[in-house]
Every structure is written in structure tokens, then in C-alpha cells.
Chain A
Amino acid sequence: MIQKKFLIPLVLFLVLVVFLGVGLRRDPKEIPSPLINTAAPDFELPTLKGEGNFSPKAYLGRVWLFNVWATWCVSCREEHPVLVAFAKREGVPIVGLSYKEIQPSDEDKGPMSLESKLSLARARSFEWLKKHGDPYQLSVLDLDGRVGINYGVYGVPETYLIDTKGFIRYKHIGPVTPEVLAQEVMPLVHELQKEASTNSWPNTSRNAELAPSTPQSFAPSYALK
């Protein structure tokens, strides 16, 4: 008994090492979203191209990506070519959320009217998409960031995967990489498309309030990283 006592600090040290090791591998910036497996918040926002308003209801029945971006966002520049290539290759529709394109610094010289904000946001975004490529089926303008708040956006870029029933099934924080798309997004897209076509979840009348009772088997283990 006495001989083994010297092992106690060693064991404690090893436990500490394991805790610290796990802690080091986790990104404190990645906060699991409570919106996974709940209905994507509805909104109606003007599109970038000015073809009226867009609401996510219009995309019910499709599996689509919702990507938060802005021209002032530096990491978006890193992410953008990945999205452009992905859109060309996979054909999964991507809708852009142009998040707070008009920054407080734009109003340094005085407050801007909504009209001038919209036109400045459009001009900037068009130029940016022309320069870097346009992976989006359409983009919507969230000038005041309210839709972003409803989606729990706290850093741009962020990407959501929304299923045919309009439920958020996955969220990626920060720039998506080819690895993330190939290993996390695409398998889930295939699974969700199959799920929709085989009608394994036929309760189309199931409404948003029932979201938390989503069966466990539908909560992919890799949804929360």
C-alpha cells in the first residue's frame, strides 16, 4: 500500500494531461448551435439582384446550404473559391446571406437612408462576386443583422445545411474547407436527400413546434463538432 502511494501524483498528473489535451484540441470559438434540428427561422429579405424578396419557405423540398458572407469579411475570401468550386461540382443550391454589408464605419460621415444603404451594398457585393466568382443561386441582404441574430450568427462566415422540411441540420462556423465539404457536408446532404425521397419521415404536417422531438437517429453525431 505504502509503496504504491508515490503513484498518486503520477495518476493525477496523467488525468490533468488528458483534460488539457482534450481542451487544446477544442476550438473555443466553436459554440454548438441550439438551432440544430430545429426549424430554420423564417424571414423575408430583399435579394441582392433586386428581384423582390426571398423567404426560406421557397426552398422547402430542397436540401440547400445557407452561407453567411460579406465583402468586408476577410475569411470569406479564403472560403469563397471553395464554395465556387463546390457549387459547380455538386449542384447543391447555395443561398447567400449578405450579413451587415453596411458597417457602422460606413456611416461615419452621417447616417445613410435605407435606399442608399441598399444600393451601396448591392454595388459592393456585385463587384466582389464578379471578382471572386458567384457560387450563390441568390443572396439576400441582411442590412441590420437581425436575420443573422435569429440564426445565431456571431462570426462571418458561417454555413447552415437546411433539409427538405426547412430544418437546420448542420452548422459550420468559420470558412468551410474542401475537407469539411467532402467529409461532413456531402455525406449529410446525401443522407437528407435519401431521407426525403424514401419518405422515411413522412410527417409533412409536422410543424416547427415539434422540432425538439426529432428522433435521435436523425441527429447526426457529427452535427455538433
Chain B
Amino acid sequence: MKIADHFKTRWLAHTLRKSARALLGLGLIYFFMQSSSLWVHADEAKPLAEDPVVEARLVDIAQELRCLVCQNESLASSRADLADDLRREVRSLIKAGKSDDEIRSFLVSRYGDFVLYRPKIKPLTYGLWFGPFLVLILGLFFLYQHLKARAVTEQQTSALTAEERERLRAILKE
């Protein structure tokens, strides 16, 4: 009993020490993450200093817009000069009290639907929006057909004719 207790306390102390170390490690990681993010922000603090509410909305809108220069980047993350200018335009539209839709149509009327990562649903974009579901439905249909056909053939191959059953019984009797 006593020995067991002893081991118990030793084990407890061990786990405590271990978790303390883990906590310290996590803390350190957290600290570095914090400081590195502070560091990144320090580099780009200029636009944020203006008005945090406007900046938050700008990021919100710009994340859904494509940069035309680096086409795989959003307007929020692109470092192209044009993206800078367009962010400036969006910022001034926000300050002018325009709605998100109005801001989006400002850009669409100049650069086309291409700037939207989520293009509007209209006849031209039906294929884009519904095509994948059509393919899914077609796939499910063919899968169903295939499974049905296989079930039928399996039944056919396993089913014995009366004559065969007779012969089977004869064989089994022997």
C-alpha cells in the first residue's frame, strides 16, 4: 500500500513537471507568435492607423475581389500598385457611405465579373455554379445503374435452374 502510494506521488510529481514544461513550451511558442505578428504589423501599420472600422470593411470586401495584376491573389493581399490604388478607391467609397454591393458594382462595371471570386448567378454563370452538382447527380445515376446491373447479374449467376438443382441434390446424396 505504502509502496503504491509512493509510486503514485512520484508519478504525480513527474506528470506535473512534464506538464509544466509543456506549458512553458506553449507559452514560449505563443510569445514568439505574438511578437512575430507584432513585428509584421509594425511593417504595415500605416493604412491601419487611419480608421480601423473602415480598414476592417475594406479587408472584408477586398478578400472577395480578385486583383487583376496577380490574378490568383485577392485585392486584400496583393502588393501590386493597381491593388493599392483600388484599395484606395474602395476606402474612399466606404468613407462616402456606399454599400458593399455598390462598391462591388463599381469594380465590376470597370473590370467585369472577373474581379468577383463569387460571380453573380446568371445564365452565363449557371454552368459554373450548377455544373459540379450536375456532374455529381450524373455520377450518382451511373453508380446506381451500375450497382443495379451488377445485382441482377449476380442473382442470375447464383440462381440454379431446376435441372441443376436436381443434379446438385443427387451429388449431395452420394
Contact = CB atoms under 8 A, between A and B. Distances in A.
Contacts of B110: 34-35, 149-152
Interface in B32-83: 68-69, 71, 81-82
Interface string B79-109: 0011011100100000000000000000011
A155 B111 CA distance: 12
Nearest to A31: B114
Main secondary structure of the interface of B (DSSP, over half): helix
A146 B84 CA distance: 12
Contacts, number: 42
Contacts of A154: 68-69, 82, 111
A144 B108 CA distance: 20
Contacts of A149: 85-86, 89, 110
A32 B81 contact: no
Main secondary structure of the interface of A (DSSP, over half): loop
A145 interface: yes
B67 to A, nearest CB: 9
A197 interface: no
Contacts of B127: none
Contacts of A32: 112, 114
A143 to B, nearest CB: 11
A31 B81 contact: no
B68 A31 contact: yes
Interface string B132-161: 000000000000000000000000000000
A28 B66 CA distance: 13
Contacts of B109: 34-35
A144 B81 CA distance: 11
A34 B81 contact: no
A100 B86 contact: no
A33 interface: yes
Interface of A: 28-29, 31-35, 100, 103-104, 144-146, 149-152, 154-155
Top-9 shortest CB links A-B:
A154-B68, A152-B110, A34-B112, A31-B114, A145-B85, A152-B111, A154-B82, A31-B112, A149-B89
